[in-house]
């Protein structure tokens, strides 16, 4: 098949993929629907801004209106306000600088160079954020196209304000959905994966013929889960920002939901580090045929301990606040198993080397893992104990709890 014949196939494939994407966005809430709505709002805001600027303002500045609308429509309402304010400040600085340089020094190549230099320096002010470069962009437009004239700068300022207002209006007309429960489910799914793999790790210690390939697969899984932790943390950051200035209604429990998810995620990431270390030790022991030197009672006891740890993880990762007394009892039972293993190591008869070293390494990882789980229980209990004024008001009025995220 020639290259020319392949082009229609690529076009049809791209069209089919786009159609499937739109269908998924329409059917269920989530990132795809958010992205689709954000695109639609951006197109609407830019079009409306251009129509207004084209009708009421000179053509020399009408382009700034849709461009500002693009800047104003961001993923969250808070970010839209922030970027709009920063852009307006950058525009004001650039236009003022162009007017001052043109009026006092005239229109020359060296004054253009001076203007650019000063604008670039001003653009580095931290408060302007990513819009700092617009000081130089607007300044150059006002200097070269408007020759620093006040009327041109006035029209430019109006065009920018029109674009910002169109962008914010489009955003507020259909504010971004709140996805608090989605973030909670992400954390719960992560803990589910940790719990299942920890159960499998327990079975490997108890097995008479452990699967070395499976152990190596778990080492890869821990790396992937660590990357998932970073991804989920980023989504929680976005959702916390999404709650700021968002006109959509929040529900009972939202104030503690994201902080609790963040604390649970921190515990999960630390647990992954200890599980990676424990699995690496197991992998090396299998490769060097050292695992068989461990007493059978130790391997069975360590497997039982890891199963308790897996149960604690499953409980810790639940979206809703867990029973603190029950969770404490589960961790206490796991620590009792650990203490039994440590006493057995001290009182056991002589075993073949390098079993003592291997036992000590495994027990150290297990102890650190349990310490992280106990610290996590305390952190989650502290978050759940925080009672905001909104929570108290909702408790007094019997406000309904959130059943699902808004679409």
- Give all domains of the chain, ordered by start, each with its CATH number: 3-173 (no CATH), 180-244+251-389 (1.20.58.220)
Q: Do 336 and 312 meet the contact criterion of CB atoms below 8 Å apart?
A: no
Q: For the chain, what percent of residues have pLDDT higher than 90?
A: 42
- Tell me, what's the pLDDT at 366? 92
- Tell me, what's the pLDDT at 390? 46
- pLDDT exceeds cutoff 60 at 247: yes
Q: Do 386 and 274 meet the contact criterion of CB atoms below 8 Å apart?
A: no
| Degrees to nearest 5, angle at CA 83 with 103 and 56 | 60
Nearest alpha carbon to residue 161 among 173, 169, 172: 169
- pLDDT exceeds cutoff 90 at 28: no
Of the pLDDT bands very low, low, confident and very high (cuts 50, 70, 90), residue 171 is: confident
- pLDDT exceeds cutoff 50 at 1: no
Q: For the chain, what percent of residues have pLDDT higher than 70?
A: 83
The residue written with tokens 């808004």 in the block is 406
Instruction: Enter the tokens of residue 385.
Output: 């104990």
- Tell me, what's the pLDDT at 279? 93
3-state secondary structure of 75: coil
3-state secondary structure of 252: strand
Question: What CA–CA distance (Å, rounded) separates 395 from 83?
Answer: 37
- pLDDT exceeds cutoff 70 at 64: yes
212-221: long-range contacts at Cβ-Cβ below 8 A with a sequence spacing of 24 or more?
Answer: 212/283, 212/286, 212/287, 215/279, 215/282, 215/283, 215/286, 216/283, 218/279, 219/276, 219/279, 219/280, 219/283, 221/193, 221/197
- pLDDT exceeds cutoff 90 at 399: no
Between these two residues, 66 and 386, which has the higher pLDDT value?
A: 66
- pLDDT exceeds cutoff 60 at 122: yes
pTM, whole model, 2 decimals? 0.77
CA separation (Å) from 242 to 75, 203, 318, 331, 334? 8, 43, 23, 35, 39
**Lowest mean pLDDT, pick from 8-12, 179-183, 266-270, 369-373:** 8-12
- Tell me, what's the pLDDT at 52? 94
Instruction: Enter the tokens of residue 128.
Output: 């302007």
Of the pLDDT bands very low, low, confident and very high (cuts 50, 70, 90), residue 395 is: very low
């Amino acid at each position: 098949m020639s290259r020319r014949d392949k082009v229609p196939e690529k076009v049809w494939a791209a069209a089919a993929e786009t159609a499937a994407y739109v269908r998924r966005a329409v059917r269920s809430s989530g990132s795809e629907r958010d992205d689709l709505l954000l695109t639609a709002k951006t197109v609407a805001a830019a079009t409306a801004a251009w129509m207004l600027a084209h009708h009421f303002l000179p053509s020399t500045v009408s382009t700034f209106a849709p461009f500002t609308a693009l800047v104003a429509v961001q993923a969250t309402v808070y970010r839209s306000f922030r970027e709009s304010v920063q852009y307006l400040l950058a525009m004001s600085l650039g236009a003022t600088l162009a007017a001052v340089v043109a009026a006092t020094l005239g229109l020359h190549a060296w004054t253009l160079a001076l203007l650019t230099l000063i604008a670039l320096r001003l653009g580095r002010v931290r408060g302007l954020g990513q819009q700092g470069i617009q000081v130089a962009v607007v300044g150059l437009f006002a200097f070269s196209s408007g020759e620093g004239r006040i009327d041109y700068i006035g029209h430019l300022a109006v065009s920018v304000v029109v674009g910002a207002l169109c962008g914010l209006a489009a955003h507020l007309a259909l504010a971004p959905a709140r996805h608090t429960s989605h973030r909670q489910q992400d954390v719960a799914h992560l803990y589910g994966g940790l719990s299942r793999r920890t159960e499998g790790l327990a079975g490997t210690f108890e097995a008479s013929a452990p699967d070395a390939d499976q152990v190596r697969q778990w080492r890869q899984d821990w790396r992937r889960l660590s990357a998932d932790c970073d991804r989920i943390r980023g989504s929680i950051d976005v959702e916390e920002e999404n709650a700021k200035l968002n006109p959509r209604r929040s529900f009972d429990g939202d104030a503690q939901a994201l902080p609790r998810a963040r604390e649970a995620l921190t515990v999960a990431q630390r647990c992954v580090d200890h599980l990676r270390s424990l699995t690496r030790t197991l992998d090396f022991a299998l490769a060097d045929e050292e695992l068989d030197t461990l007493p059978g009672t130790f391997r069975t006891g360590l497997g039982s301990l890891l199963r308790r740890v897996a149960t604690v993880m499953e409980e810790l990762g639940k979206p809703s606040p867990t029973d603190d007394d029950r969770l404490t009892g589960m961790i206490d039972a796991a620590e009792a198993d650990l203490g039994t293993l440590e006493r057995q190591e001290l009182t056991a008869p002589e075993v073949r080397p390098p079993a003592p070293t291997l036992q000590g390494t495994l027990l150290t990882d297990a102890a650190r893992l349990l310490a992280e789980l106990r610290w996590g229980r305390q952190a989650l209990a502290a978050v759940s104990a925080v009672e905001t004024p909104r929570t108290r008001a909702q408790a007094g009025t019997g406000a309904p709890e959130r059943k699902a995220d808004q679409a």
